[in-house]
Chains A and B, each alone.
Chain A
């Protein structure tokens, strides 16, 4: 199947999921209540999940290309933990501000993400290049480090803040109305636009830094640009939905198997697949023990853990 046809199929499946999922499990109450649930809860939630999933998948795709490693994602490299710490500190300090209409938590998370990626990047660079092992171990170390700081922040917080942080750390897409969507959409849209703009550069970066440079890519500049926009995107998602793990690793990897590595096709495919994947996970999380819900981060991590191990074993047998 050509890349174009695969993409059309993914787009059709996405459309089906977008339309069908708000109606799943909609059975209680009269028509008025149902209408209200649909327009004020379900549809916003599905859109919210789509945007967050798309953003996470795109950022994962960028990391995998930049670090030449399927295991490198904002989540595994500690960038999401950095964002979480930023957001947790924001909750703990208790001051709230808005900037250009955007919630301060987003910027705190962005800052945290940016600090984390700078750490990972400089440490792995100092260690002469990006050996996959160094990179992942650095990410793990930074994740642990930030996680313990989050725990510390939580320990210092009072009961309400502490519970708020804990609940949010599990990752959730519960939303009412369209405000959260408007908070998230601009960041994901900006990130998508930059990634589409840089699709050729991403292809060349996948071939390795030496080749990319010799073809004329200003590797350093492109890398910093991508770090910046992905941190912004991950920061916004983490601040609003909590750290939803493994979407950024599974989705781009599956899309590569479906559509190949050319970012002209891979980018829209990851965007659509990531969005619908998170909608499906969220629908499961809301139906599986209905009327109660489990946080969507639990579902994605339950799927992602084994996937991560599978990738790890597969890449080991490749290099051995």
Chain B
């Protein structure tokens, strides 16, 4: 395995408020990392720093041994793509136009739509199963459809690393499963490395490879996903007792928040 991302002593401050402090984490190519933690732990901020949306106040990030700060935004976008949390902007585009716009990082001011662009587009549409609503307006899509389109656009960008910020938070169970399967498929069969911010413990434990647990802007725990579902880990992370059961279908361990107050 080769080292894709190396974060050393990363800190982010906005105003006087410290959002992340001294985060160090390494991320291998092909890995699937879930970032967990209570609300306000700095999970989204971490993704935004990696994507160049928020700037760090200290520390260093290296992507393929290159300092992130030395890359232009376009070079960065060819390496990393990002699916933000469901957001309030009205996207006044047709689905296909929106996906096509993701080829920006591969274009110059007057470059034409190339064969390579077309292949990337068709590939993204196939994987995400979005061909049925390509000509609809983004504003008319349901939550599940919109999320698939957002992922399709990120795939069309052809970056080896994909960042996802709570991709299933606002979806019903059926669409949660659908989107999770899509993400796993991207990771397992298309060689895309994934960093996903999530609140879904059981999904993270079962499907991701590693966990980064953040609390109050600091790393609380970092390790393989198989070790996540332990009472002590979860209690420390969420200040909440959990009970454990086995999934009747898969036999996997699942965690459920305890009803009893401590």
Taking beta carbons and an 8 Å cutoff, which residues of A are in contact with B?
68, 197, 200-201, 203-204, 206-211, 213-219, 256, 260-262, 318
Q: Is B101 an interface residue (CB 8 A)?
A: yes
Q: Is B258 an interface residue (CB 8 A)?
A: no
Report chain B residues within 8 Å CB of A217: 73, 104
Name B104's contact: one of A208, A209, A216 (CB within 8 Å): A216
Name B101's contact: one of A68, A197, A207 (CB within 8 Å): A207
Report chain A residues within 8 Å CB of B81: 214
Number of interface residues of B (CB under 8 A): 30
CB distance from B96 to the nearest CB of A (A): 11
Q: Is B144 an interface residue (CB 8 A)?
A: no
Name B89's contact: one of A68, A200, A218, A219 (CB within 8 Å): A68
C-alpha gap A188/B75 in the complex (Å):
32
C-alpha gap A209/B51 in the complex (Å):
12
Question: With contacts A213-B53, A216-B76, A218-B73 known, is A208 near B105, CB below 8 A?
Answer: no
Q: Is B243 an interface residue (CB 8 A)?
A: no
Q: Are A200 and B93 in contact (CB under 8 A)?
A: no
Q: Which 9 A-B pairs have the closest CB atoms?
A: A216-B77, A216-B105, A214-B82, A216-B74, A261-B92, A208-B89, A218-B73, A215-B104, A210-B84
C-alpha gap A197/B107 in the complex (Å):
13
Report chain B residues within 8 Å CB of A210: 48, 51, 53, 82, 84, 87
C-alpha gap A95/B48 in the complex (Å):
51
Report chain B residues within 8 Å CB of A318: 90
Name A215's contact: one of B90, B91, B93, B101 (CB within 8 Å): B101
Q: Which of B89-109 contact A (CB under 8 A)?
A: 89-93, 97-98, 101-102, 104-105, 107, 109
Q: Is B38 an interface residue (CB 8 A)?
A: no
**Smallest CB gap from B108: residue in A:** A200
Q: Are B93 and A209 in contact (CB under 8 A)?
A: no
